[in-house]
Amino acid sequence: MNLLARSPRPLTGQMMDMPLMISSLLVHAARHAADTEVVSKRVEGDVHRYTYKDAELRARKLAQALARLGCEPGDRVGTLAWNGYRHFEIYFGSSGSQLVCHTINPRLFPEQIAWIASDAADRVLCFDLNFLPLVEKLAAQLPSVEHFVLLTDRAHMPAQTSIDKLLCYDDLVEAEDGNYAWPEFDENTASSICYTSGTTGHPKGAVYSHRSTLLHTYGLSMPDAMGVSSRDVILPVVPMFHVNAWGVPYAAPMIGAKLVFPGPHLDGKSLYEMMEAERVSFSAGVPTVWLGLITYAKQHKLKFSSLRRTVIGGSACPPAMMRTLEDDFGVEVIHAWGMTEMSPLGTLSRLKAKHESLDADAKHRILEKQGKVIFGVDMAILDDDGKPLPWNGKDSGNLVVRGPWVIRSYFQREESPLVEVDGRQWFPTGDVAAIDPDAYMQITDRSKDVIKSGGEWISSIELENIAMAHPAVHEAAAIACHHPKWDERPLMVIVRKPDASLTAAELLQFFEGRIAKWQIPDDVVFVDELPHTATGKIQKLKLREQFKEHRLPTSP
C-alpha cells in the first residue's frame, strides 16, 4: 500500500462492463422462466402456445435467417403484424442481431405505409396473412424492400400471389439450426423505429436504442409504473405496432411473466374469452378497447375472474370508465401518459403514502390526472418565453420532458426538436399541462389549441367540456379567434342536437359560474357539422382557418 501514489482522477468503478442488450431480456426469460408460456391467438384462427425457451431458440434461428437473407447491422426489418409470437420473435431476432425492428401501423392509409417503409428503407418486410392483399397492392411502391416474408407456415402460403419470391416465415426459421450466439455491441446502437402518426407533414421516426429500451423496461416494471411481476399473466391489447405495445413485450420476459397475445380480434367477446381462458391478471390498452370489453361484459352479466389491473393510455381515460372498471369489475385502472418520442411511458397515476387516508372521491380526483413521472423522466411546464412555471396545479404551460428514453432527434432529420431551459435540453411534447405541488401532471390542452388571451392561457378542452354539458349541444369546439386588444379570445363552434334550440346568448349564460369570467368565450357560432380527422378528432386547424376572418362582438 502506497499512500503517496494517488489513484487516477476521477476514479473509475470496477464493475463488469456489460452493455444493456435487448437480446438479454429473452435469454434471461429462457434461463429463468424457461417453461413460462407465450400464448397467441393466431391470424390463422387457432391458438398457439410455447415457452420462453422455445421463443428464444426461434429468435436465434430468425437472426440466422435474416443474416442469410443478406441483412447487415443497421438494416431495417419492417413489420405489418398483430400481437403474436412471430412478431415477438422479430422484436428479438432483429434487434438482438443488430438489425433495427421497424413496426408499421397497418391501420394507416396505404400511401402512408408505403411512405414510411420507404423513409425507413426497410430491407425486409414481414406481414401477417390478412395483410397479403394490402402488401400485394403496395409492393411496387416499396423499392427498398428486397424480401417479402409472410408470417405463417407452409400450409397457409397462398397458391398464387403477385409478390415475386414471397417467403414463408416458418420455413425461413425452421431451416436454421439455432447455433447462434447473441452478439454484444454498443448499447447505444439503434434497436427499433416507430413513426409518429403526425397530424401535419410527413410522419417522423423515433429511433430507440438498446440502452433506452432496457432502461424504459426497468422503469415501466416498477410498482409506481405498471408494477408487473412473475406472478402476472399479461395480455397487451395495445398493438405491437403502437410504440412497441408500450414496452410490454420487453417487460414480460424481463420479469418472466406469462404473455398472452390476442391476435387481430380486439372486440369485447374475443378479449374477454382470452382473458378468462388464460387467467390474465394484467392488461394494457386504449380507452375504446375497454369500452368494448365493458359493454360485452355488462351485456352478458360477466365478471373477470383473474383480471386485477390494467393500464389505460393513448388518450385520456374518461373518469366514468375508471369508476366502472374499479367499482363494477374490481379492476384497478392505472392511467398513463406518454408518446412515441418517449418510448412511450412518461407518467402514470399512482397514489403516494400521504394519500392513504383520503376518501374514495379524493383518491379518484388524483388518479384521473395523467400522473407522476417514472424515475428517469423529468418534466417541466414553460410559459411562451420558455420560462419554467410553478407547480401549483393552476398555472398551465408547454409541457417539456427529458430522460434517457426520450428522443433527441428524428430519423434522418437534421433539425433538433429540443428546446434549452437552464442549460439543459428538453423535448417539447406539444401538450399543455398543469403540475400540482405533489408532481402530478394533468394535460389541459394541446399547445396549438390553447387560447392565449392577453398573456393568459385558456384551455380549449375545458370550454368544450362545459359546452358539452349543455343539453342542447351535440358537439363543441373552442378555438382561438383574433382580437385586436387581447390577441386571442375564445370562439365556440357548436353543433346543436337535432330539434334542439339554443342561442349564443343562452350558451354564454351557461358558462357563468362554471369558469372564471375572463375565460368565458366572446362569441358562439352554430354549424351543421365539425370537420374530423380519419381517427375521429376534431380538425381545429381547419376550423381556425374557416373562422380566421370572424369578427368578435367584443372587438373595439
Q: Cβ-count burial of 356 within 10 angstroms (0-12 exposed, 13-18 middle, 19+ buried)?
A: exposed
- DSSP character for 5? S
Rule CB under 8 A: say whether 263 interacts with a second copy: no
Residues 429-468 that bind a second copy (CB under 8 A): 437-439
Distance between CA atoms of residues 237 and 235, nearest Å: 6
Catalytic residue among 452, 462, 475, 542: 452
Residue with Cβ nearer a second copy (90 or 473):
90
Cβ–Cβ under 8 Å, residues 89 and 26: no
Q: Site map for a second copy, 476-495, x if CB under 8 A? A: --------------------
The CB-of-276 to a second copy minimum distance in angstroms stands at 15
Cβ–Cβ under 8 Å, residues 100 and 75: yes
Rule CB under 8 A: say whether 92 interacts with a second copy: no
Tell me whether residue 363 is one of the annotated catalytic residues. no
Kind and range of the H or E element at 23?
Answer: helix 23-32
Size of the site for a second copy (CB under 8 A): 96
Catalytic residue among 56, 176, 341, 464: 341
Catalytic residue among 51, 161, 189, 196: 196
> Which residues fall within 8 angstroms of residue 386, CB to CB, at 6 or more apart?
419, 421
Residue with Cβ nearer a second copy (28 or 550):
28
Q: Which one of 263-271, 330-338, 346-354, 536-544 is the stretch in contact with a second copy (CB under 8 A)?
A: 346-354
> Which residues fall within 8 angstroms of residue 202, CB to CB, at 6 or more apart?
115, 119
Q: Which one of 152-160, 227-235, 453-461, 516-524 is the stretch in contact with a second copy (CB under 8 A)?
A: 227-235
Tell me whether residue 457 is one of the annotated catalytic residues. yes
Position among 316, 351, 419, 508 found at the interface with a second copy (CB under 8 A): 351
Rule CB under 8 A: say whether 141 interacts with a second copy: no
Q: Which one of 228-236, 240-248, 447-455, 479-487 is the stretch in contact with a second copy (CB under 8 A)?
A: 228-236
Rule CB under 8 A: say whether 190 interacts with a second copy: yes
Q: Which one of 10-18, 62-70, 325-333, 445-453 is the stretch in contact with a second copy (CB under 8 A)?
A: 10-18
Rule CB under 8 A: say whether 284 interacts with a second copy: no
- State which amino acid sits at residue 236: P
Distance between CA atoms of residues 235 and 284, nearest Å: 7
Cβ–Cβ under 8 Å, residues 71 and 53: no
Rule CB under 8 A: say whether 548 interacts with a second copy: no
Distance between CA atoms of residues 526 and 476, nearest Å: 9
Position among 165, 177, 301, 354 found at the interface with a second copy (CB under 8 A): 354
* Geometric angle at alpha carbon 479, from 474 and 485, rounded to 5°: 140
Per-residue CA distances from 282 to 233, 253, 332 (Å) = 6, 15, 10
Rule CB under 8 A: say whether 74 interacts with a second copy: yes
Q: Specify which residues 200 forms β-bridges with.
A: none
- State which amino acid sits at residue 333: V
Edge-to-edge strands of the sheet including 47-51?
47-51, 37-41, 258-261, 233-236, 282-285, 309-312, 332-338, 345-348, 372-373
The CB-of-502 to a second copy minimum distance in angstroms stands at 44
Phi, psi dihedrals of residue 93, rounded to the nearest 5°: -65, -35
Position among 143, 388, 390, 454 found at the interface with a second copy (CB under 8 A): 143
Distance between CA atoms of residues 407 and 390, nearest Å: 25
Residues 26-45 that bind a second copy (CB under 8 A): 28, 31-36
Rule CB under 8 A: say whether 155 interacts with a second copy: no
Position among 375, 500, 533, 537 found at the interface with a second copy (CB under 8 A): 375
Q: Which one of 104-112, 117-125, 161-169, 487-495 is the stretch in contact with a second copy (CB under 8 A)?
A: 117-125
Of 420, 429, 428, 480, nearest in space to 456 by CA: 480
Of 491, 548, 500, 555, nearest in space to 525 by CA: 491
The CB-of-32 to a second copy minimum distance in angstroms stands at 4
- DSSP character for 6? P
Tell me whether residue 196 is one of the annotated catalytic residues. yes
Position among 59, 151, 207, 237 found at the interface with a second copy (CB under 8 A): 207
Rule CB under 8 A: say whether 412 interacts with a second copy: yes
Say whether 532 sits in a helix, a strand or coil: strand
Residues 508-547 that bind a second copy (CB under 8 A): none
Residue with Cβ nearer a second copy (28 or 448):
28
Q: Which one of 131-139, 329-337, 351-359, 466-474 is the stretch in contact with a second copy (CB under 8 A)?
A: 351-359
Position among 146, 153, 171, 224 found at the interface with a second copy (CB under 8 A): 224
Position among 57, 80, 243, 255 found at the interface with a second copy (CB under 8 A): 255
Cβ–Cβ under 8 Å, residues 60 and 182: yes
Position among 47, 69, 121, 530 found at the interface with a second copy (CB under 8 A): 121
Cβ–Cβ under 8 Å, residues 47 and 72: no
Q: At how many degrees (to 10) do helices 23-32 and 52-68 cross? A: 140
Rule CB under 8 A: say whether 314 interacts with a second copy: no
Residues 230-249 that bind a second copy (CB under 8 A): 230-233
Tell me whether residue 497 is one of the annotated catalytic residues. no
- DSSP character for 7? P
Active site residues: 196, 341, 452, 457
